[in-house]
Amino acid sequence: MALSVNTNLSALSGQYQLDKTQQAKKQILAQLASGSQLNSAADNAANLAISQQLQAQINGNNQALNNTSDGISMVQTADSALSQLQDNTQQIQTLAIQAGDGALNSSNRQALQQQVDQLTQSNSQIVQSAQFNGTPLLSGGNATTFQVGANGTASDQLTVPGINLSSAPAAGGLNGYNANLGATNTIDVTTQANALAAQQNTQADLGTIGSQRSTLGAISNSFNSVINNLQTSNISNQAANSRISDTDFAAATAQLASQQILGQAGTLTQAQANIAPQAALSLLG
């Protein structure tokens, strides 16, 4: 190898290797500081694209979980209102059966009627006022659809059927409902004959309420199933994303130690390479 002063190939080679070592240390330090081994597309473009897709799925699932929780809250609110209607209607039925007792006089039945009126007025008020975030739950009959998935397909939606207990009994409403919250004799028990008809009407109302509660129970189970699926999916996606993007601190710290040693060795080697051209001076002496 020729001995030259203008071009120090050993020093240039040392500079190149030392620069590579410094870049490697910089990358490892970034991984350790951020906890991610994908801090730029240059780190691993393919893995970064996969990681972004997985993170988008995770974010979408998390929002779908929130939406599903809203759906469960809505169903629970509606079921709570139906439960109170059911209790009140059962009391009305008991009073109607009592009013059918031939030993009672008209005054007795009028006292029972007052109790029935209070219960029907309470039921009517519940039907009109039950709502969730401004959406009527027991009147209007409008269905509510929830986005419970992150893939933008029809299967990612779950619909809560509308309930309209304020409609006519033949259309699914309650015999014990009256739009006038102060109405009396909506369910009439003032005579034995009326008491018998009242028993039949309240029995029909109990059937209507029970059917609605069964429907809501099935919908609630569907929401809970969606939550389980979303949580399972998130666990899988997060595990996959972690393998791709998270920093392995044990491996990274070992690599950092190795690069630090190489950096120190490179610095010492560079110093020796810079001294080598001085040998040319000995020839001039």
Residue 182 has pLDDT above 70, yes or no: yes
pLDDT tens-digit map of 238-275:
898 888 877 767 776 877 677 777 777 767 777 776 77
- Which fold, 64-245? f41 fragment of flagellin, N-terminal domain (1.20.1330)
DSSP class of residue 271 equals H
Question: Lowest-pLDDT range, 114-118, 231-235, 262-266?
Answer: 262-266
Q: Mind listing the pLDDT tens digit for each residue in 121-171?
A: 999 999 999 999 999 999 999 999 999 998 888 889 999 999 999 999 999
**This prediction's pTM:** 0.78
Does residue 26 surpass a pLDDT of 90? no
The domain locations on the chain are 64-245
pLDDT score of 280 = 66
CA 282 to chain centre: 79
Spatial CB neighbours of 4, under 8 Å, sequence gap ≥ 6: 277, 280
Give the span between the Cα atoms of 256 and 24, in whole angstroms: 8
For all residues of the chain together, what is the average pLDDT? 88
Q: Which long-range contacts (C-beta less than 8 Å, at least 24 apart) are formed by 148-156? A: 148/64, 148/67, 148/68, 148/71, 148/223, 148/226, 148/230, 149/60, 149/64, 149/226, 149/230, 150/56, 150/57, 150/59, 150/60, 150/61, 150/63, 150/64, 151/60, 156/64
What tens digit of pLDDT does each residue of 201-226 get?
Answer: 999 999 999 999 999 999 999 999 99
More confident residue, 33 or 253: 253
